[in-house]
Amino acid sequence: MDTYLVTGGAGFIGSNFIHYMLKKYDDIKVINLDKLTYAGNLENLKSLNENSNYTFVEGDICDSNIVNDLFQKYDIDFVVNFAAESHVDRSILEPEVFIRTNVLGTVILLNAAKSAWSDGNNFKIGKKYIQISTDEVYGSLGKTGYFKENTPLCPHSPYSSSKASADLMVKAYYDTYKMPVNITRCSNNYGPYQFPEKLIPLIINNCLNKSELPVYGDGLNIRDWLYVEDHCKAIDMVINKGKLGQVYNIGGHNERTNIHIVKTIISYIHDKVDSLVTEDLIKYVQDRKGHDRRYGIDPSKIKTELGWYPETKFEDGIVKTIEWYLQNNDWMESVTSGNYQKYYKEMYS
Ligand code: NAD
Ligand code: TDX
């Protein structure tokens, strides 16, 4: 029975990944280590409370005692590191915590795994560390071209710089110690359980409340959207089939401008929920500092080497996503209670 240490599993992608894996395999054990920051929510995993293959541990990946104890207690086969401060706008306001969690936390996990898996020279067979990174480490594209795995790292925001730094540390553990690792770099994910500070759930939530819809700059920045379940499938393939030391880009050629996304959501909610939701709610606001213009992934390596392909077309994925938020109003209310309103006012006033 393989044991997975999943970090940040109470967040958006991590919780989707845990659901995906425990649905697909009944012979794995998942330990979820999560600090439960504002972005971590145990509501995302409540249906697993009775699942004996799932264990939640509240804790910080920067706390080496907690991390080492987990390696003592369990025979961990795979570490899948989702834990991060993940929001670009917050990183512009408060970079320090991004360095702590995203860089130092990664190194603490790498060290603990190295101590548990290596006799000083060789690593036990079958163990692997997977770093969940982002296409933002490559920087920004012009009108043409795509990010490939060998595109030079050129991050711009404190967030993407911290993720690039973490990637370099993972690479260093492979190059120096021959630690078994993979790095995945995906494009923007969307789907259930995403905290409404990110574009898609924020716009859905604001439409439902008939609040202004903040669009940064001219709204023509482009992101390459990936349905979260397709991402989970890709990570599973990388864990099981990825060649050691390799980086895999994950994306499905779903480039859209931000304004297109916003208008798509408005149109769906206008037609299906509330005809008072119209494009009049759109408010063009001050642009994000250092705003990357375009992201676009070339996924040919993971397609050719591992046989991955995205199953969800954007037009279907966005409808599934909006419907999920409509059906899970309690979830939205629970995550927007507490400090959310204060954050929102500070960010958008
Ligand atoms: P998220 O913000 O929804 O979740 C992050 C989780 O990490 C939360 O549960 C939080 O409590 C936990 N966490 C934060 N600091 C921690 C710490 N010090 N110790 C333990 N747990 C901690 O993030 P997400 O959108 O699910 O992203 C997951 C990973 O994927 C991140 O590494 C992010 O950089 C990467 N990524 C995300 C996207 C995207 O579109 N969301 C795209 C590319 C890459
Ligand atoms: O209110 C908004 N208005 C707006 O125009 C918000 C929140 C965003 N935007 C724009 C900024 C971006 O161009 O929408 C685009 C998407 O923004 P985010 O949802 O904040 O995502 P992004 O900055 O692209 O980063 C995301 O994808 C890569 C994740 O947050 C990162 O964790 C991941 O690495």
Q: For the residues 302-316, what does the mean pLDDT come to?
A: 97
**Is 207 part of a structural domain of the chain?**
no
CATH number at residue 181: 3.40.50.720
41 lines ligand 1 (CB under 6 A): no
CB 249 within 8 A of CB 147: yes
**Is 303 part of a structural domain of the chain?**
yes
C-alpha–C-alpha distance, residues 142 and 293, integer Å: 7
pLDDT band at 250 (very low <50, low <70, confident <90, very high): very high
Q: For the residues 73-101, what does the mean pLDDT come to?
A: 98
Q: According to the model, what pLDDT value does residue 343 have?
A: 87
Q: 88 C-alpha vs ligand 2 centroid, how far in Å?
A: 7
> Looking at ligand 1, which atom is closest to the CA of residue 135?
43
pTM of the model: 0.98
C-alpha–C-alpha distance, residues 188 and 310, integer Å: 13
> Looking at ligand 1, which atom is closest to the CA of residue 136?
43
Ligand 2, pocket-test mutation among 188, 215, 228, most atoms within 8 A of CB: 188
Tell whether the model's pLDDT for residue 219 goes beyond 90: yes
Q: Atom 21 in ligand 2: which residue has the minimum CA distance?
A: 198
Q: Which of 34, 60, 85, 135 is catalytic?
A: 135
57 lines ligand 1 (CB under 6 A): no
Q: For the residues 180-207, what does the mean pLDDT come to?
A: 98
pLDDT band at 11 (very low <50, low <70, confident <90, very high): very high
Longest dimension (CA), the chain: 66
Q: Residue for token digits 């595109």?
A: 151
Strand positions, DSSP E, the chain: 2-7, 28-34, 54-58, 78-81, 128-134, 181-186, 189-190, 213-216, 222-224, 226-227, 247-250, 255-257, 282-285
8 lines ligand 1 (CB under 6 A): yes
C-alpha–C-alpha distance, residues 186 and 246, integer Å: 14
What is the rounded (10 degree) CA torsion for 266, 267, 268, 272? 100
pLDDT band at 338 (very low <50, low <70, confident <90, very high): confident
250 lines ligand 2 (CB under 6 A): no
Q: For the residues 176-200, what does the mean pLDDT come to?
A: 98
pLDDT tens figures, 16-55: 999 999 999 999 999 999 999 999 999 999 999 999 999 9
pLDDT band at 89 (very low <50, low <70, confident <90, very high): very high
Task: Provide the token pair at 307.
Answer: 């046989």
Q: For the residues 95-113, what does the mean pLDDT come to?
A: 98
Q: What is the mean pLDDT of the chain?
A: 97
Q: Which of 85, 136, 167, 197 is catalytic?
A: 136
Q: According to the model, what pLDDT value does residue 252 have?
A: 86
Q: 197 C-alpha vs ligand 2 centroid, how far in Å?
A: 8
Q: 197 C-alpha vs ligand 1 centroid, how far in Å?
A: 13
Domain count, the chain: 1
> Looking at ligand 1, which atom is closest to the CA of residue 16?
26
Quote the domain boundaries for residue 28.
Answer: 2-195+226-253+293-312
C-alpha–C-alpha distance, residues 64 and 170, integer Å: 17
Q: According to the model, what pLDDT value does residue 345 have?
A: 87
Task: Provide the token pair at 290.
Answer: 């250092």
Q: According to the model, what pLDDT value does residue 346 have?
A: 87
DSSP H/E element including 204: helix 199-208
**Is 27 part of a structural domain of the chain?**
yes
CB 225 within 8 A of CB 288: no
pLDDT band at 339 (very low <50, low <70, confident <90, very high): confident
159 in active site: yes
Burial label for 339, CB within 10 Å (0-12, 13-18, 19+), is: exposed
Q: For the residues 74-94, what does the mean pLDDT come to?
A: 98
Q: For the residues 259-286, what does the mean pLDDT come to?
A: 98
**Is 328 part of a structural domain of the chain?**
no
pLDDT tens figures, 143-181: 999 999 999 999 999 999 999 999 999 999 999 999 999
Q: 122 C-alpha vs ligand 1 centroid, how far in Å?
A: 31
Tell whether the model's pLDDT for residue 272 goes beyond 90: yes
**Is 208 part of a structural domain of the chain?**
no
Q: According to the model, what pLDDT value does residue 222 have?
A: 98
Q: According to the model, what pLDDT value does residue 289 have?
A: 98
Q: Atom 5 in ligand 1: which residue has the minimum CA distance?
A: 11
Q: According to the model, what pLDDT value does residue 349 have?
A: 80
Q: For residue 166, which ligand has an atom nearest its CA? A: 1
325 in active site: no
**Is 128 part of a structural domain of the chain?**
yes
pLDDT band at 342 (very low <50, low <70, confident <90, very high): confident
Q: For the residues 320-349, what does the mean pLDDT come to?
A: 92
Ligand 1, pocket-test mutation among 13, 159, 321, most atoms within 8 A of CB: 13
**Is 51 part of a structural domain of the chain?**
yes
Q: For residue 343, which ligand has an atom nearest its CA? A: 2
**Is 282 part of a structural domain of the chain?**
no
Q: 221 C-alpha vs ligand 2 centroid, how far in Å?
A: 10
